[in-house]
Amino acid sequence: MADQSVTAGLTRSRARPGEALIKILLRLCAVVVLLTTVGIVASLLFETVEFFRDVGFGEYFTGTTWAPTFKPARFGVLPLVAATFLITLIGAVVAFPLGLASAIYLSEYASNRVRKIVKPILEILAGIPTVVLGYFALTFITPTLLQKLVPGTEVFNALAAGIAVGIMIIPMIASISEDAMRAVPQSLRQGALAMGATRRTVATKIVVPAALSGIAAAFILALSRAIGETMIVTIAGGLNPTLSADPRQSMETMTAYIVQVSLGDTPAGSTAYKTIFALGTTLFVITLALNTLSYRIVRRFREKYE
């Protein structure tokens, strides 16, 4: 894009031989991005169409039993979707307040020195591989915390998985919300402070409302991350596709089922193979919708200053 602006008014030297080729190669690199999207959509759709030749839409979307390997096989996706949403909800309950409060503190209260120490630590937390958080949920959160505090908690349970998912998305919420808050102009804060407001009032009545679109976008992006999260829920949530609202129980999410199937052999063309692609499509559509929504919110409701 710099092409026009940079060279505007300058006489550009004619490209030397070979430079046209370089330009084509660079363009091809950018096209890889496009091909990735096409590849994702094509590979998901192809197998998903095959899947729905075997299994009816009605059974998939409204069935309440998930047992693809039983005879007769049942393909009701609701237990997997419900488990995915329950764990995401627990994660959101944990991470939304903690992430937002962290963002307010970092943006409105913390000194530069504190911020310089805390932000890299949050980045490290954000970079912890999810398989490690899964290990932490299974070997620490469940036995050391939950099984002592919440009677009846199973070894694999949705609650521990949800809490770990919450921990995973805290840095993301904190960092995006903080960026939104810091974009609120200083003059708004000064106006309120000059009239004797405390920083609490400034934070809750001025900064958070002004940054609301960015905060909402952060929440939605975090939900999307949580829904697509795989290793935490596979390790700590278990592989038991039951339709239940009891978070102390083991349940299986869409992503966990994909992993469970992938651990075995998945010959192409088998129903198991098609099934994971159907789940992949479901997951892709949900997260794409959330990401698009978040993008729209930022664009549409952003408060413009100056």
Partner 1 sequence: MSVAAPPAPSATSLATGRRAERSVRALTFQAVLLMCLSVGLMTLLVLLIDVFRDGVGSLNADFLNNLDSRFARRAGIRPALIGTLWLMGLVAVISFPIGVGAAIWLEEFAPKNKFTALIDVNIANLAGVPSIVYGLLGLAAFVRFMHMGRTVLAGALTLVLLILPVIIVSAREALRAVPDSIRHGALAVGATTWQTVSRHTLPAAIPGIMTGMILGLSRAIGETAPLITMGALTYVNFVPTGPLDRFTAMPIQIFNWTSRPQAEFQNVAAAGIILLLGALLLMNAVAVFLRNRYERRW
Query: Does 206 sit near partner 1 (CB under 8 A)?
Result: no
- Read off the tokens for 245: 């609202």
2 CB-contact burial (10 Å; exposed 0-12 / middle 13-18 / buried 19+): exposed
Please give the residues from 109 up to 138 whose contact with partner 1 meets the rule CB under 8 A.
109, 118, 120-125, 127-136, 138
Tell me the window of 9-17, 57-65, 71-79, 85-93 that interacts with partner 1 (CB under 8 A).
Answer: 9-17
| Closest distance of CB 213 from partner 1, Å | 17
Query: Does 91 sit near partner 1 (CB under 8 A)?
Result: no
Query: Does 148 sit near partner 1 (CB under 8 A)?
Result: no
Q: Contact at 8 Å (CB) between 40 and 284?
A: yes
| Closest distance of CB 82 from partner 1, Å | 18
Query: Does 69 sit near partner 1 (CB under 8 A)?
Result: no
- Which residue's entry shows tokens 């809750």? 204
| Closest distance of CB 134 from partner 1, Å | 7
Cα angle 27-31-37, degrees, rounded to a multiple of 5: 165
Q: Which of 64, 139, 301, 305 binds partner 1 (CB under 8 A)?
A: 139
Q: Which residues contact 219 (CB under 8 A, 6 or more apart)?
A: 92, 96, 173
Query: Does 53 sit near partner 1 (CB under 8 A)?
Result: no
Instruction: Give the H or E element holding residue 179.
Output: helix 158-182
Choose between 140 and 305: whose C-beta lies nearer to partner 1: 140
Quick one: which of 169, 157, 143 has its CA closest to 86? 157
Query: Does 270 sit near partner 1 (CB under 8 A)?
Result: no
Query: Does 17 sit near partner 1 (CB under 8 A)?
Result: no
Q: Contact at 8 Å (CB) between 279 and 80?
A: yes
Choose between 93 and 121: whose C-beta lies nearer to partner 1: 121
- Read off the tokens for 129: 């591989």
Please give the residues from 156 up to 175 whose contact with partner 1 meets the rule CB under 8 A.
167, 170-171, 174
Query: Does 244 sit near partner 1 (CB under 8 A)?
Result: no
Q: Rounded distance, CA 300 to CA 292, Å?
A: 12
